[in-house]
Structure 1
């Protein structure tokens, strides 16, 4: 994106013309969320002010702090075909067609080829079934959540309760397709950027930043203070995604899991809960599919 004269910092929420709409939206959301326990101010403050300590030094997490190994002939070949960023390809033999193609793809992408013995590969893969081949995937470097606020009218996608990396990859792919500034994921108990997410994102993870939030609820509040309207995608929503007029400005769309939806505190923090009308017989949509539909409607508003 070419650099030019910016339009200045994002105005604070109280300075925006739709600030009154936020207050009305909260009232609508409160009325529509029947059967959902309300979190009182004291409990909410205690939960969101919980300053959890950072992960201990040296802790190993497969979603980005240490290299990940993809093992097996088909998984390795599929990962290389999808453009997953590898740092080394370990091979014990090259007699299989899939292994030979993987070696060629690695060579085309300048991924180092390391010949190794079976015992050594057993040790590297911690005894996993590797079929004589393994791809080491480089650690993913997460952005800072505040980095996604760049620009006069950011569009941010936050995910809550997504534990399947393939769903995360699909959401990232939709976010990239519809012009989002980036995606925010919780640091704990959530899917991170690994080989599965890379494959499902079809390479778009190379073009859109993903940030980690220590506390998603607290981060949503920070986005609200920075001037963003926060809407949660939820079956209990009282407004359809097609009617999101506020999406034309600085906007955060929160997507929950297919089974549990949004967490209670996250839903309570949102300015508004929105829903996707489904006249058919399906009770719910896959999180990646739901995010794509909602982002399409949001992009129409922003256009």
Structure 2
């Protein structure tokens, strides 16, 4: 049953972007997978287990249990392994004596088609990210999303970290397991989801927010997490059904975005699983 969208919440603001074409979500398939370099022992072992690695290079000086596991699993999967003398240092990467050519995680654009195929139980849970630009945060959020059983993550095209090797590493492989959809206009998508029966919940501090433990995650939900600097945009906040917050007991008044996402997602998972 579709939820009726409440027109009284529709507030236009002079600073909002012009309305995008109504076809904000393409029905075309995601982009063709490219290859990129993946670094670090555990990230490469995790990618191997997910059948995402195409070639591996291991330094002649690299040894240890995880290196042995990588070599063994690569042989089982018939993935070529080359021993190299050494690696040149690459800016921003901790190589740990091993580098792999891996398939880049897919970023999809067929959100409507995906939603049509969603089962009703356990209750679908979507995660919308409003401008998470830090790749470590993005990866950590994907890792929590996988652990909490999130059906899909929705990101925007601009002012959002792309899925890079840093994101894959921070996600512990979840960048390959959680469907990620990129859309042109988060606000338009949020309204569409609400019209389709999803209840919208924004992680927003303040006196008007409900304590997150008091919210009942007993419906189809989309949880919105904003960036640490700007938070959830005013435009999205104006349309959401509920604002929730996490109480702080120390001297600081906010949490890292990935930590907040993890707390809220597992609270939602508790309710979803009890509804099975």
TM over 0.5: yes
Corresponding residue number in structure 2 for 1:178:
148
Query: TM-score of the superposition, structure 2-length normalised?
Result: 0.74
User: For 1:244, which of 202, 205, 215 is the aligned residue?
Assistant: 215
Between 196-205 and 275-284, the greater mean CA deviation after superposition? 196-205
- CA shift for structure 1 position 107: 3.2
Task: Indicate conservation of the 8 Å contact 2:129/2:153, yes or no.
Answer: yes
Unpaired stretches in structure 1, ≥5 consecutive residues: 1-10, 27-38, 55-60
Aligned residue pair count: 254
Task: Indicate conservation of the 8 Å contact 2:71/2:81, yes or no.
Answer: yes
Distance 2:95 2:62 in 1: 13
User: For 2:47, which of 78, 83, 103 is the aligned residue?
Assistant: 83
Q: Can you list the C-alpha shifts for 1:244-283, whole angstroms capped at 9, x where unaligned?
A: 23x3111100011223211232323323221111122222
Task: Indicate conservation of the 8 Å contact 1:65/1:139, yes or no.
Answer: yes
Distance 1:222 1:53 in 2: 11
Equivalent runs, 1:212-251 vs 2, <5 Å: 212-236=182-206, 237-245=208-216, 247-251=217-221
Corresponding residue number in structure 2 for 1:34:
none
Corresponding residue number in structure 1 for 2:12:
41
- CA shift for structure 1 position 230: 0.9
Task: Indicate conservation of the 8 Å contact 1:83/1:199, yes or no.
Answer: no
User: For 1:210, which of 180, 192, 196 is the aligned residue?
Assistant: 180
Q: Structure 1 stretches (4+) deviating beyond 6 angstroms?
A: 115-118, 128-132
Change (3 A) 1:117 1:233: same
Within the alignment, does 1:96 sit opposite 2:62 as a pair?
A: yes
Describe the SS at the equivalent of 1:294. helix
Q: Can you list the C-alpha shifts for 1:54-81, whole angstroms capped at 9, x where unaligned?
A: 9xxxxxx9xx8532213xxxx3323223
Change (3 A) 1:279 1:130: closer
Q: Can you list the C-alpha shifts for 1:118-142, whole angstroms capped at 9, x where unaligned?
A: 9xx98xx89x997985321202223
Corresponding residue number in structure 2 for 1:288:
258
Which has the larger helix fraction? 1
Task: Indicate conservation of the 8 Å contact 1:187/1:214, yes or no.
Answer: yes
Describe the SS at the equivalent of 1:97. coil
Distance 2:213 2:159 in 1: 31
Corresponding residue number in structure 1 for 2:37:
69
Within the alignment, does 1:163 sit opposite 2:133 as a pair?
A: yes
Q: Can you list the C-alpha shifts for 1:163-204, whole angstroms capped at 9, x where unaligned?
A: 223322322232233332121122232123333333333334
Larger Rg: 1
